[in-house]
Amino acid sequence: MRLWPSKYNVLFHLQPQFGQPIHVLQNLFHGQVDFYSPPIPPLFDCLVNSTEIDVVDDDRAGILDHLIEKGFLYRAADEEDQLIQKYVAAGGQRDLIIARHRGSQYGFLPTYMCNLRCPYCFQRKLADDNHVMTEEMVDLAFEAIDELESRVPNLKDELGEKAPIPGIAIAGGEPLLRSARQRRVLERIIQCSEERRFKYSVTTNGLELENYVDLFDRTSMITDIQVTLDGPEKIHNQRRPSANGGGTFHAIERGINAALKKRLPLSLRVNLDFGNIDYLKDLAAFILESRWTAAENFHCYVSPVTDNSGIGGYGQIADESLLLKKILALHVSDPYVAEVFDIKHFRGFDYVRNLVEERKPKMPVLYRCEAVLGMHIFDAQGNIYVCLEAAGTPQLAVGSYVPALRLDEDRLKEWFTKDLVNLPECSACRVRFICAGGCAYKAFSKPETADCKPILEEMRMAWDHFRDKIADDLGRQIRPT
Ligand code: SF4
Ligand code: SF4
């Protein structure tokens, strides 16, 4: 009998602290996972490394039926490709997916100016750009949003209360500058957002947060204030100095205290690289001492510093798997670090963690990020972008909203096709339904190379990290071969 292994099978081998080794057979398209105890028959090697197999005896009929049922093996050469084509075709109904599952996403960049000078900032060349959004521009942006919302498929009858609410993300530059004009603009964005019953979030460096919390306090529609602290005081101040070179740590600390006192939802982000990872332990101790983790709306995570625009000039960015290796070692050796910091934005690790914790696979990812999902970001120069990091580069804009909404459909199509289906390197990639084609902006800024992350290596590390939990929690699911 001839059978065809899935092109997305991978095999990992784990050795828990106690007990037998575990072999993990995983499919990176539909996400099914099986755990096996040794010995692993030669067939398993073929599942990962062969394009087709001949099965001569039927001793293994039981396991073959199981592997076929779970989609690790197919009975026809083109069965998997047909399944994938159907999935991609259904996922291609982008507007319907957004209307049904997540609601439209809009962004506001009231200015590119910033009161900090972080050496790794992807917008650092724009920090002195003096365009500032006006209240009239805010009104024009919301007119554009109303127009865009009128095009969204209406699923209210079908979904009722469950219909997702559109979201507004306010960022910059720095959206909370010490300026009466900037404050009025922010008030207007929030007012227009609330009139439409939209949710909104703010990404700020936190320097002026203390002076702005009253503004966010007036509403129940705020979902998140994201603030960044990059380490204990000395390290943070080196990495995130003010525009005049001064320290910013204590002003940010006051801002966080003020926001938490008002029970505002706050996520604290640590931009992580080899310049600050050795100080995570000290930052964890500071955060615990400050009792921020006791606040119900507080959440803290580390996220790797990236350079999607290819701006360069910052030497601390390294292979993300090396960074992940170090964080996971810290999570094991230091209970404070594990207690305080969630690990975000390592796609291979997140994928396995989700499997271990939720015990069900994530859906195959077709859309990597907001940029390919069609977010509309309004900037202070009157342009519309789909990617926050591309904002401020007019040749990457997808349209404008001053004096009225104008979208460049050809440019939008260019963004939307920087994906796992259309990028040539990605179409045959084993991890493409996890990676989803890498960063679309990089496909513009560095078109010569695919944006491949070490996803398989991260997954291997994640399985290893969770090996004892798997042995304890999932023991009953381990199959003899
Ligand atoms: S294209 Fe997507 S992943 Fe890349 S910088 Fe923009 S939002 Fe981020
Ligand atoms: S960017 Fe690289 S890892 Fe991601 S889907 Fe494309 S080829 Fe695969």
Q: Which CATH architecture has domain 99-318+363-379?
A: Alpha-Beta Barrel (3.20)
Which ligand has the minimum distance to the alpha carbon of residue 171? 1
Closest-CA residue, ligand 2 atom 3, reads 452
Look at residue 479 in the predicted model and tell me its pLDDT: 67
Does any ligand 1 atom lie closer than 6 A to the CB of residue 170?
A: no
Which ligand has the minimum distance to the alpha carbon of residue 437? 2
Does any ligand 1 atom lie closer than 6 A to the CB of residue 308?
A: yes
Look at residue 136 in the predicted model and tell me its pLDDT: 98
Which ligand has the minimum distance to the alpha carbon of residue 457? 2
Question: Which protein residues touch ligand 2 with a CB less than 6 Å away?
Answer: 420, 423, 425-426, 429, 431-432, 435, 437-438, 450-452
The predicted model scores a pTM of 0.91
Look at residue 116 in the predicted model and tell me its pLDDT: 95
Look at residue 311 in the predicted model and tell me its pLDDT: 66
C-alpha 63 to ligand 2 mean position (Å): 32
Look at residue 153 in the predicted model and tell me its pLDDT: 78
Does any ligand 1 atom lie closer than 6 A to the CB of residue 118?
A: no
Domain boundaries, the chain: 99-318+363-379
3-state per-residue secondary structure call for the chain: CEEEECCCEEEEEECCCCCCCEEEEEECCCCCEEEECCCCCHHHHHHHHCCCEECCCCCCHHHHHHHHHCCCEECCCCHHHHHHHHHHHHHCCHHHHHHHHHCCEEEEECECCCCECCCCCCCHHHCCCCCECCHHHHHHHHHHHHHHHHCCCCCHHHHHHHCCCCEEEECCCCCCCCCHHHHHHHHHHHHHHHHCCCEEEEECCCCCHHHCHHHHHCCCCEEEEEEECCCCHHHHHHHCCECCCCCCHHHHHHHHHHHHHCCCCEEEEEEECCCCHHHHHHHHHHHHHCCHHHCCCEEEEEEECCCCCCCCCCCCCCCHHHHHHHHHHHHHHCHHHHHHCEECCCHHHHHHHHHHHHCCCCCCCCCCCHHHHCCEEEECCCEEECCCCCCCCHHHCCEECCCCCEECHHHHHHHHCCCCCCCHHHCCCCCHHHHCCCCHHHHHHCCCCCCCCCHHHHHHHHHHHCHHHHHHHCHHHEECC
Does any ligand 1 atom lie closer than 6 A to the CB of residue 439?
A: yes
C-alpha 410 to ligand 2 mean position (Å): 24
Look at residue 58 in the predicted model and tell me its pLDDT: 62
Look at residue 404 in the predicted model and tell me its pLDDT: 97
Please list the pLDDT of the chain residue by residue as tens digits (481 residues): 899 999 999 999 999 888 889 999 999 999 999 998 888 777 888 899 999 998 876 666 788 899 999 999 999 999 999 999 999 888 777 777 777 777 899 999 999 999 999 998 888 888 788 899 999 999 999 999 999 999 887 777 777 777 888 999 999 899 999 999 999 999 999 999 999 999 999 999 999 999 999 999 766 799 999 999 999 999 999 999 999 999 999 999 999 999 999 999 999 999 999 999 999 999 999 999 999 999 989 999 999 998 887 666 677 777 889 999 999 999 999 989 999 999 988 999 999 999 998 888 888 998 888 888 889 999 999 999 999 999 999 999 999 999 999 999 999 999 988 888 889 899 889 999 999 999 999 888 888 889 899 999 999 999 999 999 888 876 556 665 5
C-alpha 449 to ligand 1 mean position (Å): 16
Mutate which of 311, 367, 377, 388 for ligand 1? The one with the most ligand atoms within 8 Å of its CB, which is 388
Look at residue 101 in the predicted model and tell me its pLDDT: 76
Look at residue 168 in the predicted model and tell me its pLDDT: 97
Does any ligand 1 atom lie closer than 6 A to the CB of residue 371?
A: yes
